[in-house]
Amino acid sequence: MPKHQSFQKSYIYTALWLAILGGFSLGAHIAMPMGFGWNLPPFYHIWVQTHGHLQLLGWTGLFIIGVSLYFMPRFVKVPLPYQFLTKWILILITTGLIIKTGALFTIPYLEVGTIQSFLTYLVRVSAGLEWIGVFLYVFLLVTLFKRKPRNYEGLKSVQPFFVLMATGFLLYASLHIVQYFIYDAAGRMPWSSMTTDIFFMLVLFPVAFAFSVRTFPLFIQIPPFRVSFFWFGIAYGLSAVTCITGAFHDLPLQLDALAKILISCIILILIYHLKLIPKMILSPRLFMIRYYGEKYLNDRIDSGAFTRARPGYYDFGQYGRFELLIFSAYIWLAIFAGLEILRSVSQITALSIPFGHDPVRHVFLLGFITLLIFGMAQRMLPGFLKKKGLWSRRIVGWTFILGNLAVLGRVLPMLIPQRWVAGVPEVHQWLMYWFGMSGSFAILALILLLVNLWRTFRG
């Protein structure tokens, strides 16, 4: 009888190292000169697009793959097939990312010639390695779902979200490789923005939401969901596909804007269903009475469970205040949805807004996804490795503070209208310094997270 595979912590270590030494360092290296008024690095476009790709596939991608390869088989109650492939997926994607980054940063410095052609070839091969890694991952997921018991209903509510995630991974990796065959590797890849949108619409939000639905009732004690998210998933998927089609074909602007507004509204409705806002503002007692009923609360008080555990949670505090990271992640997600609605309305009306796509995208990628990873990693991963708690609870608080400082610094200076600070140039100057330091705050948070997980896994 095949057994479940143990948790592959190498995915988490690799994602963290790629983030610290790769994606976030590149981001910090671009943001610093912008914030402090220094010269931008040469071949700026290579820095930007390599930063984006490393963050998406290396940081968030490897984290998601590592966690899902452990979580999904247990969720559908079938051991993962072809378990030997898990290590190959990690090797292929990581090797691809490292070789491609090295080659892309060397090519612009070379004269046209044999070495340059060789490196261009290497870029394509490494994008191919990434593609094979992603393909094998999707293959494993599809095989796993095919083997799930026929009468298994647990997946149905969130199935569309997982289908979107698998499709998004494959589409992202495929378009990423194809563009290196069509365009000059030394130039700005024209599909970068589109592939980023594909990754965050089809992969990141669906998987983050599906995991939240499955884990929050246990982690932050919210009642199990009575609604099915199936039709929300379908509506979200159709709207996302409409937006993505708009990137390939000229769609009427109104249709694109409407699809984005619909996506944002679905996100807000889903946040409402997660009951995070009442969880944040109501006392544990009131929350329990409202959503579980007074009898349940009294039973828990009688059995001693309510006072033994941390009020409002099932844990005893051994994971620190991880919920702060989850709450702030979802607050950033709500802000993202609000900003996207404003941006879309401005596309079809005379409304003028003072910010572009970039800060809004980072509200989602840094504010929502990265803080959610910080929170989930510190709450969930010790259990995956049968550890009773975290090595340091204090670090959880520091990752919350530094993570939010990084998000605020990264997005506030770009979101605040210039005219608000025009009269006080010092405020603008300090905001820009904060922007310049945002990458360093994030790197510090990541190093603390790495130490905390490493000491926890070893302990």
What is the contact surface with ligand HEM in residues (CB under 6 A)? 24, 27-28, 30-31, 48-49, 51-52, 55-56, 59-60, 192-193, 196, 358, 362, 365-366, 369-370, 406, 410, 438-439, 442
Nearer to ligand HEM, 24 or 205 (CB): 24
Nearer to ligand HEM, 14 or 196 (CB): 196
Query: Which residue's beta carbon is nearest to the bound ligand HEM?
Result: 52
The distance of closest approach from Cβ of residue 284 to ligand HEM in the complex, given in angstroms and rounded to an integer, is 32
CB of 285 to ligand HEM, least distance (A): 37
Within 10 angstroms of residue 39's Cβ, the number of other Cβ atoms is: 6
- Smallest gap, in angstroms, from Cβ of residue 437 to ligand HEM? 9
**Rounded least distance, CB 185 to ligand HEM, Å:** 14
Taking a C-beta distance cutoff of 8 angstroms, is the pair 306, 297 a contact?
yes
Pick the closer one to ligand HEM by CB: 130 or 315.
130
C-beta of 391: minimal distance to ligand HEM in Å? 24
Least CB distance from residue 93 to ligand HEM, whole Å? 15
In the complex with ligand HEM, the residue whose CB is nearer, 192 or 347, is 192
Nearer to ligand HEM, 32 or 140 (CB): 32
Quote the least distance from Cβ 49 to ligand HEM, whole Å: 4
Q: Which is nearer to ligand HEM, 220 or 339 (CB)?
A: 339
Residue 136 or 369: the one with the smaller Cβ distance to ligand HEM is 369
Shortest gap between Cβ of 274 and ligand HEM (angstroms)? 21
CB of 455 to ligand HEM, least distance (A): 24
Q: SS3 for the chain, per residue?
A: CCCCCCCCHHHHHHHHHHHHHHHHHHHHHHHHHHHHCCCCCCCHHHHHHHHHHHHHHHHHHHHHHHHHHHHHHHHHCCCCCCCCHHHHHHHHHHHHHHHHHHHHHHHHHCCCCHHHHHHHHHHHHHHHHHHHHHHHHHHHHHHHHHHCCCCCCCCHHHHHHHHHHHHHHHHHHHHHHHHHHHCCCCCCCCCHHHHHHHHHHHHHHHHHHHHHHHHHHHHCCCCCCCCCCHHHHHHHHHHHHHHHHHHHCCCCHHHHHHHHHHHHHHHHHHHHHCCHHHHHHCCHHHHHHHHHCHHHHHHHHHHCHHHHCCCCCCCCCCCCCHHHHHHHHHHHHHHHHHHHHHHHHHHHCCCCCCCCHHHHHHHHHHHHHHHHHHHHHHHHHHHHCCCCCCCCCHHHHHHHHHHHHHHHHHHHHHHCCHHHHCCCHHHHHHHHHHHHHHHHHHHHHHHHHHHHHHHHHHC
| Nearer Cβ to ligand HEM (49/456) | 49
Complex with ligand HEM: residue 294 or 358, whichever CB lies closer: 358
